[in-house]
Structure 1
Amino acid sequence: MSEQKKRKIAILGGGVGALTSAFYLASRPGAAEMYEITVYSIGWRLGGKCATGRNPEFGNRIEEHGIHGFLGSYYNTLSMMSSAYDQLGRQPGEPLATFEDAFYPIDSILCWEFRDYRWVNWKLTMPRNDLKPWEPQSLPTLRHWIEAVIGFMGRLFEHHAPSFATVGFDGSIARGMVHSMTSHAAAIARGEGGPLLTAIEDFWNWFKRQVEKLVENSDALRHLYVTLDYFLTMLRGIIKDDVINKGFDQLDGENFSDWFARHGGSMLTISSPLSMNTPNLSYQYPDGDTTRSPQMAAGAYLHWTLREFAYLGSFGWLFAAGTGDTVVAPLYLVLKRLGVKFELFHKVREITANAAGDAVDEVVIDVQATPKDATAGYDPLIDLPLAKFGGKTLPVWPDRPRYEQLAEGDRLQAADVDLESYWTSWQPVGEKRLKAGRDFDTLICGIAIGALPYLAPGLMAANPKWPQMVGAIKTVQTQTLQVWMKRSLKQMGLPFDFKNYDRLIGATFVNPIDGVADFSDLIPMETWPAANMPQSLLYFSGATPQYGPQPPFSDHDYPAREYDRVKYQAQQYLQACMGALLPKAVSNVVHPPGDPIGFDFSELVCLEDDAATLGVARLDQQFWKPNIDPTERYTTSPPGSTQYRLKAWNSGFSNLVLAGDWIYTGLNVGSFEGACMGGKLAVHAVDPTAMPLDQVYGYPPGQGPVSL
């Protein structure tokens, strides 16, 4: 019997959607005999918007595209990473040996409320539950998410019991009413939402009578009032709009704030940091301009937020090292072991359609660099010894190519070019043409939607759904800043009760860089010299306004101009905002007399401590980045856009499958989880037996391929 021909699958892109597709195809039983999988990616590393680089000039510090972590509601992501670590098989005592070593739980977020001309810190703590992050089937339906949210409200009353005593009403009444809501929640799956709606209205009317006149004078009660109004408005709207039966998509023509107002949410709640956390977290500002009101499809907002509080184990799971080290490198190593081929330094130039316009004909690729040893290929990872683990090494991604392995390495290093930039002056050293039927049978496009107008003009012309999708699914430019400091956050006055300190992380600080997170725990995973060892590390992230088209790729100075723009904005931001965050790190405290609200830049770690690095000059040794490339821009979810998202199996081209957070995933929010769902849906399109739809957790029923 002749040997069965393997199905050739070419995957374009090295981001999360592409890697997820490769992971689940290559992991299925018998994959080695069925598939020949090759991943083609730009530059020297994988990860897309989640790529990490290690900078050897500054203690092999971790440099990210932004603030990354997993929510406990990342059902697909958490289970994939658990499986990846099981397959990785590291030995006990090695760095990041297991899922439990690589990811650790967090239980709170910090919101900032600007009230009466002052910043009020609002710590929202979510108690842990017994669910396991690798068991996504534990929360399979919307009903379970609703029950989880009601349970969360009940635990809030337990937490606020002391506040109740001070205003003279019995919290046991509230607990009884919450129990009543819980008892009615299961009935909504049978279409019986009336009893739950009545219980919600009874509870809210009672609670308002108790505290409405007291919230002005108590931060704790105001925060409780806003939290309950927020969740009860969501539940009320879900029942009235019959989301159980009609789904979230029906709401996506409406902006989230209008939907909340329509269902009785107060303006205090709609404009609160609790409400704004979701659009801030996912950069939902038109053209990246945070001076304008956020615009986010109501259904996508609700789906995301309900899941956010229906979590597995803990509210969030953060990384024990950089995103690239903790997430991307393990996936790469497992995929290599499973036989997946990787062609780095392969930048897609164009995807063309056949003459009939119903299939992809060819993919034209610019080869950016070539390995010196064609047989050995290119090894992208470096083994970084870590003192925390007794000198044992962790495979990590460098922040630049490993020039010594490349035939063009000396020229690349001398020119100091960025091979990930679409504006690079570096010219390709070769060309590769992938032909349908010869080089691939199925093509999976995991490249971000921001690049498609440049890479697929032929597909856009052949299928009218493509320009409609690209026009509706907007992307925005983002920015990130990381600062390493000489003193601890406690020493610099972070307004927290450090006896119960969880960590600082949130997305409602001062715009435009509203995201801020404490990643001081990552410092031992870097290799700073003892004389310059940082004591704290903060990450900042936010949107960047950009109106009109970006300049042509021939404008090679554009990235430098954007780097300067982000740098100067970072300087202004630290000078204007750090007094509210770290009041003992301002100039008037550190070196009085001085600025009472502006950051004292002498707090920054600096390897060269001399006259050239006084004041703001120390910022030059920190890390900042404008995320400007078409593949780096963030995918948003504006009202009216969901209907234009194509499904993985509905590209309009018979041999083309789509993957990523920009396709229709049911979640429809730019995120690692959205990209992971997009990758799993692509696998379903390639081989339904390898990925049944009921294993794409959270994907809405009735949205699968139609059998004709």
Structure 2
Amino acid sequence: MSAGPPTRPRKLAVFGGGLGSLSAVFALTELPDWRERYDITVYQIGWRLGGKARSGRNLRAHARSEALGHHVWFGWYDNAFALARRVYAETRRAPGAPLATFKEAFKPCDHLLLGTGDRSDRTPPWKMSLPRSDSLPGDGAAQPSVWHFAQTLLLWAIDCIPRLHPQYSTWSAIVPRWPDASRSLWPALMRRAGGQGVRAYDGFDPQSPDYDGLLRRAAAAVHGEDAPKTSRQRRAWAQPLTHCGEHSLRALVGLGARQSHPQFTIMVDLALATVRGILHDGLDRAGFSAIDDQDLRAWLRRHGASEESLASTVLVALYADHMSYESGDVERPVAAAGALLRAALRRYLAFSGALYYTPAAGLGEVLFAPLYRLLRDRGVRFRFFHKLKHLCPNPRQPAVSAAVVGRQIELAPGVDDYEPLIKVKGLPCWPSRPLYSQIVLGDDPVIQAIDFEANESPEVEEVVLRAGIDFDDIVLGVPPPALAGAAREPRRPRPALGDHARAHPLDRRHGRAVVALADLAAAAGRPGAGRRRRDRAHRIAAMGQPLDRRRLRGLAARALARRDRLAQRAAPRTLRRRQPRARARHRRDLAQEPSARLVARGLARRRRRVQLGALARPAGPRRRAPPGRPALLGHAERQRSPDRHPPRRSAAPPRRRRQRLSQPLARRRLGRRRPRPRLRRGGGHGRAPGRARAQRRSDRHPRRTRRPRPGVIARAGRAPSEARPRA
């Protein structure tokens, strides 16, 4: 049996050189047989890797390191630290070289300064210091559970409360300061915990209470054999401690503990509110994601956090660190409660080694330069000065058929591949500007003024990468602004007509239009006209894709024209003259609004006309109507069915006469009547007979006097010329 042809490795095109893309490439090259399986090429815009964490050395300013900002890696970044540790373990720099090991590249820090960010606030930042652990980040340790976080916070709060006030340093001194109702409720919670199988509160005597010994036994019970195992036992164990912590904190705040320890009072309040929320919402079973639909401040307020704690520097710094603002407005902080709470608890309670680490130099020299050299030595190809311009979707399946890449420069003669790194005091670094000695016309000031890292930068030519030839798979690692202009959503496979409305919820109007066109085509088919004409509806339905307006208008017009021809042959003569006008009107409406509702309306109208034509048959001669008027029924037909087919006469609408003005429009007041004068009483203007009063009114206002009609004067015995002249 002969062996088949050898399969070639799959070509993988990676667009973008940020930390996410390079991490994916690094993970693929970690496979033992990756060279036989993949052929990887990285396309990067500009001259350096790093994305938003890139940095470079300014050779015009004494090789000064320039970056987009100071980057900090917290101690719980296990994946990032694992990548950095493997890179430094494989590069194996010579002893004595700068940044030879991982511990030299990343420096641990234990202190954190928290402030409100308000410049008008003169309160100094709060310095938080947390002790280090013996482990190193990146060891792959499992993350703590939600219950572990709640248990740690609760025990820490119980340990800190007696230290908030110097005069009340024991629980025996704090508990008597509680309200009587709260103090009487505490033994009931302990008995309830005992009923659930929790033995931490056994032996408590309310007559001679030993509160300090009770709380020490309860804290030690979580690490022994009697530790709560089920969710119900955990809640029963935590409720007496939470009740004790909340009422003790309120009593100490009333005694002035906030003035002596303002920050620790806030931290204890937030810790107790977090524990109460975890227990009340059942997050130990559902996880932090169950409260992602709420804001963190609103969630803490609902579970008893004070307004002073919600406005504290701890929460302000937490929102600012994650840039959790609605539309970037700092006056509207908002964040998912579950995601932000998980990040905060991992930062302060689950870090490895130190609280956070800072790179000894820019991340370009500390991480991306050694990572680039490692991947290049493994066999990964890098194409600098190649920017992604457009992704062409495949119309038949959800895939990319081609990728258009713009090549930004032309390499100088003799330069096969662009070498991006330089050495500064023996350390490989990225320059802050391209190395123009490797570029054609690199000494030209016009070339040096171009920002090659901008999406609007010019290119020398466009390179089209075709699927199956230049690449088989794509890894997109470009930022969202660049992706919005380059990538489009690949089209889905064309569904059947019945599934069109369900598969395309946003294109239901086009789906109904396709259904209506299929109905029209099926109704317009002649009986026995052939398989092709009868199956036209199925051919239209096989499209199953959202039709554009031009194609929909054309299909509807052709289907309706064929439908009109068949309907005109079956309709009586009295209706034939009206059909061309109706068809023209329908085509005009369809051109203005090619929607499914209009197509369905035309279909229903033509069905009614066909039914009417089947009931009414022409009989007798037909008189011709004058142009512009509908046809009239014949004399014999009117005599036979005068009520069923009454004659229709339509009078032409009267023409509107144009009004001619004898004066300019500005001087003439149209549509306004002059007010009638009011007659005063006395002084010759009293009441008088109607004729005399009308005579005086006509003398005062001659323009309002109406001229008598000549015919009336002639009948009265006077000639028209003898009529009283108009004043």
User: Same fold by TM-score, threshold 0.5 exceeded?
Assistant: yes
Q: Could you say what secondary structure the match of 1:352 adopts?
A: strand
**1:661-700 paired onto structure 2 within 5 Å:** none
Per-residue CA shift, 1:321-370, capped at 9, x if unaligned?
11111122122121112211111111111122100251122211111123
Alpha carbons of 1:398 and 1:167: their partners in 2 closer, same or farther (altered >3 Å)?
farther
Q: Could you say what secondary structure the match of 1:78 adopts?
A: helix
2:56 maps to 53
**1:427-446 paired onto structure 2 within 5 Å:** 427-446=458-477
1:196 maps to 238
- State TM-score, norm by structure 1: 0.59
Comparing both structures, which one devotes a greater share of its residues to strand?
A: 1
2:298 maps to 258
Alpha carbons of 1:285 and 1:204: their partners in 2 closer, same or farther (altered >3 Å)?
same
Q: Which amino acid aligns with 1:306?
A: L
Alpha carbons of 1:343 and 1:151: their partners in 2 closer, same or farther (altered >3 Å)?
farther
Which whole-Å CA distance do the structure 2 matches of 1:66 and 1:176 have between them?
A: 51
Counterpart contact for 1:104–1:317, Cα < 8 Å: yes
Which whole-Å CA distance do the structure 2 matches of 1:311 and 1:178 have between them?
A: 27
Return the offset for 1:80. Answer: 1.2
Counterpart contact for 1:460–1:467, Cα < 8 Å: no
Q: Could you say what secondary structure the match of 2:23 adopts?
A: helix
2:313 maps to 273
Q: Which amino acid aligns with 1:247?
A: G
**1:229-248 paired onto structure 2 within 5 Å:** 229-248=269-288
Which whole-Å CA distance do the structure 1 matches of 2:156 and 2:22 have between them?
A: 34
Q: Could you say what secondary structure the match of 2:375 adopts?
A: helix
Which whole-Å CA distance do the structure 2 matches of 1:411 and 1:350 have between them?
A: 29
Q: Could you say what secondary structure the match of 1:250 adopts?
A: helix
Q: Which amino acid aligns with 1:451?
A: A
| Structure 2 residue 68 is matched with structure 1 residue 37 | no
Count, aligned residues = 452
Aligned pair partner of 1:127 in 102, 125, 131: 131
1:347 maps to 387
**1:600-619 paired onto structure 2 within 5 Å:** none
Per-residue CA shift, 1:640-691, capped at 9, x if unaligned?
xxxxxxxxxxxxxxxxxxxxxxxxxxxxxxxxxxxxxxxxxxxxxxxxxxxx
1:301 maps to 340
**1:200-599 paired onto structure 2 within 5 Å:** 200-218=242-260, 221-290=261-330, 292-309=331-348, 310-372=350-412, 376-385=416-425, 393-411=426-444, 414-423=447-456, 426-459=457-490
Which whole-Å CA distance do the structure 2 matches of 1:29 and 1:222 have between them?
A: 56
| Structure 2 residue 51 is matched with structure 1 residue 20 | no
Q: Which amino acid aligns with 2:166?
A: T
Return the offset for 1:139. Answer: 3.2
- State TM-score, norm by structure 2: 0.57
Alpha carbons of 1:431 and 1:228: their partners in 2 closer, same or farther (altered >3 Å)?
same
Which whole-Å CA distance do the structure 2 matches of 1:317 and 1:465 have between them?
A: 49
Counterpart contact for 1:54–1:397, Cα < 8 Å: yes
Q: Which amino acid aligns with 1:130?
A: D
Alpha carbons of 1:178 and 1:122: their partners in 2 closer, same or farther (altered >3 Å)?
farther
Per-residue CA shift, 1:146-191, capped at 9, x if unaligned?
556567668x84xx99x64634413998998588468549757756
Per-residue CA shift, 1:421-446, capped at 9, x if unaligned?
234xx421121222222222221111
**1:133-144 paired onto structure 2 within 5 Å:** 133-139=137-143, 141-144=145-148
Counterpart contact for 2:395–2:491, Cα < 8 Å: no
Which whole-Å CA distance do the structure 2 matches of 1:187 and 1:413 have between them?
A: 73
Alpha carbons of 1:247 and 1:408: their partners in 2 closer, same or farther (altered >3 Å)?
farther
Counterpart contact for 1:403–1:413, Cα < 8 Å: no
Return the offset for 1:50. Answer: 0.4
2:68 maps to 65
Alpha carbons of 1:117 and 1:139: their partners in 2 closer, same or farther (altered >3 Å)?
closer
The structure that has the greater radius of gyration is: 2
Q: Which amino acid aligns with 1:299?
A: G
Alpha carbons of 1:17 and 1:180: their partners in 2 closer, same or farther (altered >3 Å)?
farther
| Structure 2 residue 103 is matched with structure 1 residue 103 | no
Which whole-Å CA distance do the structure 2 matches of 1:133 and 1:3 have between them?
A: 43
Which whole-Å CA distance do the structure 1 matches of 2:445 and 2:213 have between them?
A: 65
1:6 maps to 9
Return the offset for 1:210. Answer: 2.4
Structure 1: gaps spanning 5 or more residues: 386-392, 469-708
Which whole-Å CA distance do the structure 2 matches of 1:222 and 1:230 have between them?
A: 13
Aligned pair partner of 1:79 in 77, 82, 85: 82
Q: Which amino acid aligns with 2:277?
A: G
Counterpart contact for 1:370–1:407, Cα < 8 Å: yes
Return the offset for 1:268. Answer: 1.1
